[in-house]
Amino acid sequence: MSRGPRGARRAGSRGGGAQGGSPGPRRCRREFCEADDRWEAGCAFLGLGDGAGWDLLGGMLDRDWRKRPSVADCLAHPFLTGKSLAPP
């Protein structure tokens, strides 16, 4: 992280993420979970319903707090309502 005068953090100085040429944050989280056998059941659970759980988790963990879903949005998400598991 780069620092400005007097050691203060400068806005936008965080590296990585989709803009930095490395894999996007959602992909990194999924790879981290799948790399450890202890997380196997959790990874499978989040992958139910075309990965709806990964979509919800990724949104809730977005680095930019302004892009994170509200509590109402989370509770209405298809992964939590079960709509992502309903047959077509």
- The type of residue at 80 is L
Q: Which residue has the higher pLDDT, 37 or 75?
A: 75
For 14-69, the pLDDT digits (tens) are 444 444 444 455 555 667 666 777 888 888 888 888 889 999 999 999 999 999 99
User: What per-residue confidence (pLDDT) applies to 50?
Assistant: 86
User: What per-residue confidence (pLDDT) applies to 42?
Assistant: 84
Euclidean distance between the first and final Cα of the chain, in Å? 47
User: What per-residue confidence (pLDDT) applies to 27?
Assistant: 57
CB 57 within 8 A of CB 29: yes
Burial class, 59, CB count within 10 angstroms (exposed 0-12 / middle 13-18 / buried 19+): middle
- The type of residue at 64 is D
72 pLDDT exceeds 90?
yes
